Amino acid sequence: MKAQPAARPVSTSRGRHRLGAFVFLAPGLTYLLVLVLVPLALVLSFTFFQRGRFGGVIYEFTTENFARLVDPLYLGVVGTSLKIAALATLIALVLGYPTAYLIAQLPRKWKTAALIAIVLPFWTNFIIRMYAWIILLNGPGLVNSGFELFGLGPYELLYNQGAIVVGLLYSYLPLMVLPLYAAIEKLDPQLREASANLGASGFTTFRRVTLPLTLPGVLTGSMFVFVPSFANFVIPEMLGGGKTLMVGNLIRNEFLKARDWPFGSTLAMALVAVLLLLLLAQAWAARRA
């Protein structure tokens, strides 16, 4: 009788599997550790220290930086940032949903061209695009020239909160359209046909079938627009002329102008905490949708 080969130990197989998984995960884990976790830990440590008389950091423990967060001056900046980011997100949703819906209804060969057109602005440098908007919105710019043809204007279109919303909307609208398109594309068309066959109007079908089933895409797109809008500091500086102070500009000023690194770090960590809570809320709502 021929002897059977000995079975490979289960522990050896699991060890090789874990080693292989670690080899593949090592680059990503190293990236997260060196470029995300370590800088965040460094910034977090600064929140408990004091600012030097002429800038810098005095390594003496304090919680005063957290008490300054509830100062009405800084709460007002947060309120302005929330208002502008929420307005940009709402307009992006109103414009992005029908755009994504129309793209999803296109023939297959035209969908790719439409999606490329949506992401095409990302192929151009961000600063160049903002300078283009300055040229369009300034006093003798193209927009005011168009108004003058109809006997209107000129209007002050630049260096105000409206210009900031336009810049945010232009920059992040594709981040609203793409998740919405993915959600609408996955929607089974037979559900809408069944709703129509049961006598529902087009609006009722949209309200009772299409919108609820695409709600995860709505939530994801809204977060993709709101989060970078809330923390943006380049667009308020370029299109807002520095007249509107948002959270991103406030953090930049604390680090580079006031040289108050401890309080700048506290503001940055508070912003990270708020955005993290928003992302967790979005994930929870998407699971329940």
Residue 281 sits in a domain of what CATH number?
1.10.3720.10
Count of domains observed in the chain: 1
Q: Cα 192–194–197 angle (5° rounding)? A: 110
pLDDT of residue 108: 84
Is the model more confident about 118 or about 14?
118
How large is the C-alpha radius of gyration of the chain?
Answer: 26
* Cα-based distances in Å from 143 to 6, 128, 162: 81, 18, 14
50 within domain boundaries: no
Residue numbers of the domain that contains 81: 61-288
122 within domain boundaries: yes
Q: What is the pLDDT of residues 110-153, one digit of tens each?
A: 988 999 998 888 888 888 989 999 988 887 788 888 888 888 87
* Cα separation, 151 vs 75, whole angstroms: 42
Q: What is the pLDDT of residues 26-61, one digit of tens each?
A: 888 898 899 889 999 999 999 999 988 877 888 999
248 within domain boundaries: yes
Asked if residue 11 has pLDDT above 80, the reply is: no
pLDDT of residue 2: 52
240 within domain boundaries: yes
Q: In the predicted model, what is the mean pLDDT of the chain?
A: 88
> Would you tell me how many other CB atoms lie within 10 Å of the CB of residue 192?
17
56 within domain boundaries: no
127 within domain boundaries: yes
Q: What is the pLDDT of residues 189-238, one digit of tens each?
A: 888 888 888 888 888 998 898 999 999 899 999 999 999 999 888 999 99
* Cα separation, 271 vs 266, whole angstroms: 9
Whether residue 154 is preceded by a cis peptide bond, meaning omega within 30 degrees of 0, is yes
Pairing of strands 50-51, 57-58: antiparallel
Residue % of the chain over a pLDDT of 70? 95
**Stated pTM of the model:** 0.84
110 within domain boundaries: yes
Tokens of 204: 């009722």
11 within domain boundaries: no
